[in-house]
Amino acid sequence: MCGIVGYAGARPATPILVRALRDLEYRGYDSAGIAVLGSADGEGLVITKRVGKIVNLESALDSSPGNEATVGIGHTRWATHGRPSDLNAHPHTSCGGEVVVIHNGIVENYAALRSALTARGHTFASETDTETIAHLMEERTRSGLPLLEALRLTIGELEGSHAIVAMSPSEPGAIVAARVGNAGGVVVGYGEGEMLVASDLAAILPHTQQVAFLASHQLARVDRGGAAYINGDGSPATVEPHRVPIDPVSALKGQYEHFMLKEIMEQPEALSDTIRSLVTIEPAGIHLPDLGAMSDRLSEVRRVILIGMGTSLHAAMVGRAFIERLSGVPAETDNASEFRYRDPVLGPGTLVVSVSQSGETVDVLEAMAVARAKQAMQITICNTEGAQTTRVAGGTVYTRAGLERGVASTKCFTTALVALYALALRMGEANGYLARERIAGHIQDLARLPDAVARVLQDHTPYRALANHFYDARHFLFLGRGLAFPVAMEGALKLKEISYIHAEGYAAGEMKHGPIALVDRSFPTVAVAPAHALRSKLVSNIEQIQARGGEVIVVASEGDDELAALADHAIFMPAVPEFVEPFVATVPLQCLSYYIALRRGCDVDQPRNLAKTVTVE
Ligand code: M6R
């Protein structure tokens, strides 16, 4: 979950590292630090680190030496071992100061390693698991081994998954990096006379689009002249750089106060780009260009299990209904972190569809590893070109949402629904379940989707007004049925993660089996009730809530005056075909959460305790 960056080149490293940490801050933001080698007045290691956001580090750097150093590493932390503090912030050094390390992951056997190292005379400066890595490496560099070899032998002693970057005054100009398991990626960036390493593309793209990704158990040594790679057994590794097509400009906030709002507003375009990349309208056709070997195997599929976490799991829940109803193949969903440990039965003909915008979520990657071991077919839905999930799955359906920076996922949810819709249509086409005319009809519906979403986003007055009315609520209930049930779950997740209001998403039919006991005047309900989502059933749920004094906000299709009259507050969305409703109904809930969080003064883009990409268990 932490952000990692390293720079070796000819330019001053500090501003490059600080800018990169800003670009990575969404990965973790409880402390940050940098280490540079070779200060203006000669050699030496200068480490500066501060608890809190990057701005605190920047203030400290103003009075720190090392401003002309051209090699350095930087880290933004999401704490796992040791509370957020200056001391526990990365980078960490060995006791002799010979090795400096930044790390993403958890050293699962750190307690045993720490006592062994202490017994051998090492002294620890922090409470972190990461510091053990610096001491272990130092034992090797002291015995004369080069830094890369010291790192290679050290990772053999660590349990867990890791991304590690290190440097040493004994090898000025060089940075070494290793990736072990699924704790997070290591990307190597090839600039003009300079090289970068980072946990993800956001830190690299402002400098170069030429990148290479380390696989698990691969290591790299970079200096300003280039990179060399080895495998975990010490043999040379071939890692080819390639050009990634992401536009760095999309990483900027532009006119918007927050990335979340920008990304909500980008949805019509993101949807359009994703739709255009997967379907043609005239002639109507589904083309999934990255499905690879899975293209020819879709008719073999007899059962589908969709997995994901958080928002991506909610997308998977919608995808399940798409697949069952458009391809006739039984489908189920599972939380990836449960799937991986439950020894799932995956018979022949089982397709596992993973959904992950980052493609780096550790629970998803581990679940995919289980599916692979059991020889299931795999397709992944992903927004990140070349991410880990795309390298494990037999085929990928990419979403074209552009970089998503807000911790609360918005455009990646709705674009993932497009990918799942297109996959379901393609499966129905491949196994003969869907006639050509029906496919063409669905494609027409998809083509009109971006406009419908744009209409929802035209006027924010209703969301602001509702936020003013409800911002001090302590609890919220979100209800939906059918395709609107996962939308209700997603609405509740959005609200709780950015506004810290307790919110529950429920299948509306479940309400009277317990949750209704909570309802009173201070416990508002959002009922997601577009025309096709078993609307008439929801009417009785709304009446039951109101009979107990609860206030109800309804999300209804335009023209549904009956529902609007019944509810206390109504948000209207365009009346759209059934399969398009979950896309359109989600957007008002994103806006409602955003404006409630804003009214409460919350840090919308960096909510407490969260990180954008969850690479630890
Ligand atoms: O990158 P992924 O899609 O795999 O991420 C999964 C979840 O961590 C993510 O959706 C999380 O729930 C978001 N913060 C939700 O807004």
407 CB less than 6 Å from ligand 1?
A: yes
54 CB less than 6 Å from ligand 1?
A: no
Percent of the chain residues topping a pLDDT of 70: 96
Instruction: Check whether 212 has a pLDDT greater than 70.
Output: yes
Residue the block writes with tokens 């077919």: 377
Q: Strand, helix or coil at 325? A: helix
472, with CB counted inside 10 A (0-12, 13-18, 19+), is exposed
Residue partners of 142: CB distance under 8 A and separation at least 6: 96, 98
Fill in the amino acid letter for 191: G
Instruction: Check whether 609 has a pLDDT greater than 80.
Output: no
309 CB less than 6 Å from ligand 1?
A: yes
Instruction: Check whether 503 has a pLDDT greater than 70.
Output: yes
Q: Please provide the average confidence, as pLDDT, over all residues in the chain.
A: 91
571 φ, ψ (degrees, to nearest 5): -115, 125
Q: How far apart are CA 410 and CA 593, in angstroms?
A: 11
Closest ligand 1 atom to Cα of 407: 14
83, with CB counted inside 10 A (0-12, 13-18, 19+), is exposed
CA of residue 435 to ligand 1 center, whole Å? 35
Q: Which tens digits make up the pLDDT trace of 262-278?
A: 999 999 989 999 998 99
Average of per-residue pLDDT across 129-146: 95
Please give the pLDDT value at position 220: 97
Fill in the amino acid letter for 421: Y
Quote the Cα angle for 181-33-206, to 5°: 75
Please give the pLDDT value at position 120: 94
614 CB less than 6 Å from ligand 1?
A: yes
Average of per-residue pLDDT across 439-455: 94
How many CB atoms neighbour CB 144 within 10 A? 9
Tell me the HSE value of 431 on the side-chain side, using a 13 A CA sphere.
Answer: 21
Please give the pLDDT value at position 42: 41
CA of residue 364 to ligand 1 center, whole Å? 11
Q: How far apart are CA 589 and CA 478, in angstroms?
A: 10
Q: Strand, helix or coil at 227? A: strand
Q: How far apart are CA 362 and CA 145, in angstroms?
A: 32
How many CB atoms neighbour CB 423 within 10 A? 29
Burial annotation 358-384 (CB, 10 A radius, 16+ → b, else e)? bbbbbbbbbbbebbeeeebbbbbbbbb
Q: Which residues are catalytic?
A: 2, 612
Q: Which tens digits make up the pLDDT trace of 327-339?
A: 999 999 999 999 9
Instruction: Check whether 41 has a pLDDT greater than 60.
Output: no
- Picking from 12-16, 129-133, 146-150, 613-617, which range would have the lowest pLDDT averaged per residue? 613-617
Closest CA to 415 of 262, 202, 317, 273: 273
Q: pLDDT confidence of 556, banded at 50, 70, 90?
A: very high
pTM: 0.75
Q: pLDDT confidence of 166, banded at 50, 70, 90?
A: very high
Q: Which tens digits make up the pLDDT trace of 182-197?
A: 666 799 999 999 999 9
> Residue with the nearest Cα to atom 6 of ligand 1?
309
Q: pLDDT confidence of 248, banded at 50, 70, 90?
A: low
210 φ, ψ (degrees, to nearest 5): -90, 110
Please give the pLDDT value at position 44: 79
396 CB less than 6 Å from ligand 1?
A: no
Q: How far apart are CA 282 and CA 110, in angstroms?
A: 59
Closest ligand 1 atom to Cα of 409: 16
Q: What token pair was written down for 297?
A: 């195997």
613 CB less than 6 Å from ligand 1?
A: yes
365 CB less than 6 Å from ligand 1?
A: no
- Picking from 5-14, 76-85, 174-183, 381-390, which range would have the lowest pLDDT averaged per residue? 76-85
Please give the pLDDT value at position 245: 67
Q: Which tens digits make up the pLDDT trace of 229-239?
A: 999 999 999 99
Q: pLDDT confidence of 40, banded at 50, 70, 90?
A: very low
Please give the pLDDT value at position 146: 96
315 CB less than 6 Å from ligand 1?
A: no
CA of residue 311 to ligand 1 center, whole Å? 5
419 φ, ψ (degrees, to nearest 5): -60, -40
Average of per-residue pLDDT across 143-160: 95
Average of per-residue pLDDT across 231-260: 80
Between residues 246 and 155, the one the model is more confident about = 155
Q: Strand, helix or coil at 240? A: coil
Closest ligand 1 atom to Cα of 610: 14
586 CB less than 6 Å from ligand 1?
A: no
CA of residue 613 to ligand 1 center, whole Å? 7
> Residue with the nearest Cα to atom 5 of ligand 1?
356
CA of residue 420 to ligand 1 center, whole Å? 17
Extended beta strands in 436-565, E state: 475-480, 502-507, 525-529, 552-557
Mutate to test the pocket of ligand 1, among 382, 494, 614, 617 (most ligand atoms within 8 A of CB): 614
Instruction: Check whether 613 has a pLDDT greater than 80.
Output: no
Closest ligand 1 atom to Cα of 310: 12
Q: How far apart are CA 526 and CA 589, in angstroms?
A: 9
Instruction: Check whether 226 has a pLDDT greater than 50.
Output: yes
Q: How far apart are CA 90 and CA 76, in angstroms?
A: 8
Q: How far apart are CA 416 and CA 203, in angstroms?
A: 24
Asked if the peptide bond before residue 146 counts as cis, ω within 30 degrees of 0, the response is no
CA of residue 409 to ligand 1 center, whole Å? 6
230 φ, ψ (degrees, to nearest 5): -135, 165
Residue partners of 608: CB distance under 8 A and separation at least 6: 500
310 CB less than 6 Å from ligand 1?
A: yes
Q: How far apart are CA 499 and CA 503, in angstroms?
A: 10
Residue partners of 335: CB distance under 8 A and separation at least 6: 307, 308, 309, 313, 363
> Residue with the nearest Cα to atom 7 of ligand 1?
310
Q: Which tens digits make up the pLDDT trace of 58-116?
A: 888 877 776 788 999 999 987 777 788 888 899 999 998 899 999 988 888 999 999 99
Closest ligand 1 atom to Cα of 614: 8
CA of residue 428 to ligand 1 center, whole Å? 28
Helices then strands (H, E): number in the chain? 19, 26
